[in-house]
Chain A
């Protein structure tokens, strides 16, 4: 398993601003993932962040809107840029601790409200 810490846990932001969410893991992991959970909805994968390479974005998500950093094997950031009310969501960081076990472990999430 892994212990994942996300900051901030929640924030209220103004339209047009940007916010960076941090994700810290207590062990080295190869693959980190960022998910979005819109109000009352399921989780949607934004991108996969691997250390030492560019993040891989899913359809509908672009780097200019959601830039991701992965400077080392225990840390990643997701920035939500030029925010609008439609970006109000919970953003969750998750990690894959083993390519053989399959399950992901999740942080508590960062709840963003954009006014």
Chain B
């Protein structure tokens, strides 16, 4: 069965500093990996994804993530954090196995707090 782990409930960063939000996964087949962001009282917004190709993927709002197959990780990063980046971040995985995609499974979420 597929699963996603986000080991940190909260990440605190000063504005202008780099940020990392961690994610590890477990799947049976090939992983499709995603990051979503949720602002207060809003739905989920898609940030970026990895399906195949370059291990470093770039997404919206200056975010990027690095796929590491050996460590089964897909950490979200940004070189310089903004106060407006403060939100709840979800890592998610879909298992591509047997020629079809599985359901999208979410991690528990990490609250990012960026202070001025």
Contact = CB atoms under 8 A, between A and B. Distances in A.
Contact of A42 (B51, B94, B109): B109
B107 interface: yes
B43 A108 contact: yes
Interface string B4-32: 00000000000000000000000000001
Given A102-B32, A102-B49, A42 B90 contact: yes
Nearest to B51: A102
B97 to A, nearest CB: 13
Interface in A20-75: 33, 41-45, 48, 58
Chain B, interface size category, equals 20 to 34
B109 A45 contact: no
B80 interface: no
A4 B32 CA distance: 23
B78 interface: no
A92 B44 contact: yes
Contacts of A41: 108
A102 B50 CA distance: 9
A104 B104 contact: yes
A105 B47 CA distance: 11
A107 B43 contact: yes
B72 interface: no
Interface string A75-97: 00000000000000000101000
Contacts of B96: 102
B42 A45 contact: no
B105 interface: yes
Contacts of B90: 42-43
A108 B44 CA distance: 7
B74 interface: no
A41 B9 CA distance: 11
B68 interface: no
A103 B106 contact: no
Q: Which 5 A-B pairs have the closest CB atoms?
A: A102-B32, A108-B43, A106-B44, A106-B43, A42-B108
